[in-house]
């Protein structure tokens, strides 16, 4: 009888060992998309820009339409309207609120859509 109990003990330990070994397998981590090169967001932003902004802004030149042409804005690094630094945050705030000459888009576009437009504008 003692022998049987002993064997059972060894068998249980062996099975536990196998289970442990299987449990330690690691899943590969999903890579984070780097913010400025999210091509799909840029493309969504481009389409939104065509619909909502192109009426007043050139994207392919700095020639003024109703508002300033936006080509080169990102490289210049500053708004021409107020000298503020161009960042995702300042652009988002600008598009959300507009000013006395530009309509606000807070109620027109969702936050996500505004961020897509920001992504696009940052490629200009
Ligand atoms: C009805 C016309 C109109 C529409 C539509 C419009 N804007 Fe404007 N926008 C303007 C005007 C006018 C100015 C300049 C405001 C000023 O001089 O005070 C401006 C300024 C800007 C500026 C600052 C440019 C600079 O050189 O400092 C950005 C960026 C901008 N708009 C982005 C957008 C985006 C993105 C959209 C679409 C979501 C948009 N605008 C839609 C009229 C418009």
Q: How far apart are the CA of 98 and the centre of ligand 1, in A? A: 7
Three-state SS string over 53-83 comes to CCCCCCCCCCCCCCCCCCCCHHHHCECCCCC
**Which residues lie below 8 Å from residue 3, measured CB to CB, with a gap of 6+?**
none
Cα 19 to chain centroid, rounded = 40
User: Residue 3 domain-assigned?
Assistant: no
Mean pLDDT, 10 residues at a time, over the chain (124 residues)? 59 57 57 66 98 98 97 95 96 98 98 98 96
What is the CB < 6 Å shell around ligand 1?
A: 52-53, 55-57, 66-68, 70, 73, 79-81, 91, 94-95, 99, 101-103, 105, 117, 121
User: Residue 43 domain-assigned?
Assistant: yes
> What per-residue confidence (pLDDT) applies to 44?
98
CATH number at residue 117: 2.60.40.420
Segments forming the whole domain that contains residue 66: 36-121
> To test the ligand 1 pocket, which listed residue (74, 75, 92, 102) has its Cβ within 8 A of the most ligand atoms?
102
Domain count, the chain: 1
> What per-residue confidence (pLDDT) applies to 33?
47
pTM score: 0.78
pLDDT tens-digit series, residues 70-81: 999 999 999 999
User: Residue 114 domain-assigned?
Assistant: yes
């Amino acid at each position: 009888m003692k022998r049987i109990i002993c064997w059972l003990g060894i068998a249980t330990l062996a099975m536990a060992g196998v289970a442990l070994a299987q449990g330690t397998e690691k899943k590969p981590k999903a890579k984070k998309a780097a913010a400025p090169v999210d091509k799909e967001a840029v493309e969504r932003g481009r389409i939104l820009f065509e619909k909502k902004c192109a009426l007043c802004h050139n994207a392919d030149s700095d020639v003024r339409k109703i508002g300033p042409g936006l080509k080169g804005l990102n490289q210049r690094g500053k708004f021409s309207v107020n000298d503020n630094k161009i960042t995702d945050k300042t652009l988002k705030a600008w598009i959300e609120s507009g000013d006395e000459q530009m309509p606000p888009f807070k109620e027109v576009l969702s936050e996500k859509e505004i961020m897509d437009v920001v992504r696009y504008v940052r490629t200009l």
